[in-house]
């Protein structure tokens, strides 16, 4: 089995995590709860152009609107210091909320760290500027798995299979991916430790081995296997042993995802003749169709980390649309055009695929409560199937 020995050191460099250091006069952070459906107006003062671009991108996709000073509710400003530093104050009361220094690391990681602190101070639990996203990118000879910063910068190629790959999925809390590769001329599932570079086969049965989805605790993986005939939903141990068949439909199943408590799995099936979402106990039992109101043809589900929502894709009128429905089912809401979305760890931001025409696809970020979108601007090729580290 090929080991990607050169990749861990490259990837480790891209993972630099900044820890903010307080000035001696630091004011304790004040947590402010905002109206989740309204973008919070914030001004950025005194930052270099590159830092300002990073801050604006990061803050826009977690519920902020960068405005002029006289229209801002809050003001984030650069602070002169030996190291990169920033401060946040309430523009109405003029009260300083925090002042912090970010020593070491590169300018991008420092700016990301400041953006995350701003987000956490004003929208608790929303910060995600230092999280990674895995995705599939077209390259000469097929496609490969890449991992980048959440805004698309600092991409690192994780596979060199010279074939096609599909559906990367993170193990929660670990630097480890599952995905399908055609490197041996068959769709097989692999696990890939991004720290060591070690890659191991998980499912290499005759026929299809696709759509791996690790459980929240990383002890199991759901996937779609055709080993018993038609593509059905199976669950195995993390290393692929002890396979258990959950569905026995004559129709295809696809795209499993786990509830955050690990008790249920949502997936797509054509049991009723057209694509729809179903849930099933992770230990087995009868599948239950998930109600999505008048929105039909649901595919590609993804369960939010807080357990409240399931995002999915539907095709209608010649275009793909991203939708969201309560995890218990109900009336679904169409968010915008796009497909194959993945929840961020804050359960409010989605990364999704946007078609550009001519076969090209890019990745974009959507702040669900406000509807604000930012496109990745760092991509050099057609990208799809994003998965957000949690």
Per DSSP, the residues of 242-275 read S-EE----SS-EEEEEE-TTSSEEEEEE-TTSS-
38 versus 226: the higher-pLDDT residue is: 226
CATH code for the part of the protein at 18-122: 3.40.50.10070
Q: Which two three-digit tokens encode residue 323?
A: 């939708």
pLDDT tens for each residue of 330-389: 999 999 999 999 999 999 999 999 998 787 899 999 999 999 999 998 777 799 999 999
pLDDT above 70: percentage of residues in the chain = 90
Q: Where in the chain is the domain with CATH 3.40.50.10070?
A: 18-122
Bridge partners for 191 per DSSP: 178, 200
Q: Which two three-digit tokens encode residue 120?
A: 């956490």
- The architecture (CATH level 2) of 132-388 comes to 6 Propeller (2.120)
Query: Are 268 and 254 contacting, i.e. CB atoms less than 8 angstroms apart?
Result: yes
d(CA 380, CA 383): 9
Closest C-alpha to 196, from 7, 16, 15: 7
Query: Are 370 and 63 contacting, i.e. CB atoms less than 8 angstroms apart?
Result: yes
Look-up: residue for tokens 């001519």?
358
Longest Cα–Cα distance of the chain, Å, equals 67
d(CA 34, CA 129): 19
- Round to the nearest angstrom and report the end-to-end CA distance of the chain: 28
Query: Are 98 and 26 contacting, i.e. CB atoms less than 8 angstroms apart?
Result: yes
Look-up: residue for tokens 């002169």?
80
Long-range CB contacts for residues 269-275, cutoff 8 Å, separation at least 24: 275/299
- What rounded mean pLDDT belongs to the chain? 89
Bridge partners for 336 per DSSP: 322
pLDDT category of residue 222 using cuts at 50, 70 and 90: very high
The continuous run of DSSP H or E covering 300 comes out as strand 298-303
pLDDT above 90: percentage of residues in the chain = 81
Residue 269 clears pLDDT 50, i.e. is over it: yes
Q: How far is residue 15 CA from its own chain's centroid?
A: 16
Please give the pLDDT value at position 114. Answer: 97
Lowest mean pLDDT among 24-28, 130-134, 361-365: 24-28
Q: Where in the chain is the domain with CATH 2.120.10.30?
A: 132-388
């Amino acid at each position: 089995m090929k080991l990607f020995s050169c990749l861990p050191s490259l990837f480790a460099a891209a993972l630099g995590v900044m820890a903010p250091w307080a000035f001696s006069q630091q004011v304790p952070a004040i947590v402010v709860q905002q109206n989740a459906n309204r973008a919070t107006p914030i001004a950025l003062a005194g930052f270099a152009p590159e830092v300002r671009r990073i801050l604006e991108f990061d803050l826009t996709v977690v519920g902020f609107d960068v405005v002029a000073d006289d229209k801002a509710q809050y003001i984030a400003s650069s602070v002169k210091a030996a190291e990169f530093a920033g401060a946040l104050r309430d523009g109405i009361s003029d009260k300083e909320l925090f002042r912090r220094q970010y020593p070491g690391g590169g300018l991008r990681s420092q700016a990301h760290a400041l953006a995350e602190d701003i987000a956490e101070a004003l929208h608790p639990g929303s910060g995600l500027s230092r999280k990674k996203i895995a995705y599939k990118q077209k390259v000469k000879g097929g496609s490969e798995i890449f991992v980048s910063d959440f805004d698309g910068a600092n991409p690192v190629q994780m596979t060199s299979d010279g074939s096609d790959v599909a559906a990367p999925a993170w193990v929660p809390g670990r630097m480890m991916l599952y995905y399908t590769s055609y490197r041996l001329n068959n769709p097989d599932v692999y696990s890939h430790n991004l720290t060591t570079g070690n890659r191991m086969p998980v499912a290499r049965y005759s026929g299809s081995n696709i759509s791996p989805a690790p459980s929240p605790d990383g002890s199991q993986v759901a996937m779609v296997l055709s080993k018993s005939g038609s593509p059905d939903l199976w669950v195995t141990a993390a290393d692929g042993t002890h396979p258990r068949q959950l569905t026995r439909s004559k129709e295809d199943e696809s795209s499993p995802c786990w509830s955050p408590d690990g008790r249920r799995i949502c997936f797509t099936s054509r049991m009723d003749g057209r694509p729809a979402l179903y849930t099933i106990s992770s230990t087995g039992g009868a599948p239950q169709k998930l109600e999505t109101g008048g929105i039909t043809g649901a595919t590609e589900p993804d369960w939010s980390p807080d357990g409240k929502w399931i995002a999915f894709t539907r095709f209608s009128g010649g275009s793909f649309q991203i939708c969201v429905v309560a995890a218990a089912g109900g009336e679904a809401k169409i968010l915008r055009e796009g497909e194959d979305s993945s929840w961020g760890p804050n359960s409010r931001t989605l990364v999704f695929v946007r078609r550009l025409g001519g076969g090209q696809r890019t990745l974009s970020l959507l702040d669900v409560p406000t509807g604000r979108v930012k496109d990745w601007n760092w991509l050099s090729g057609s990208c799809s199937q994003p998965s957000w580290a949690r």
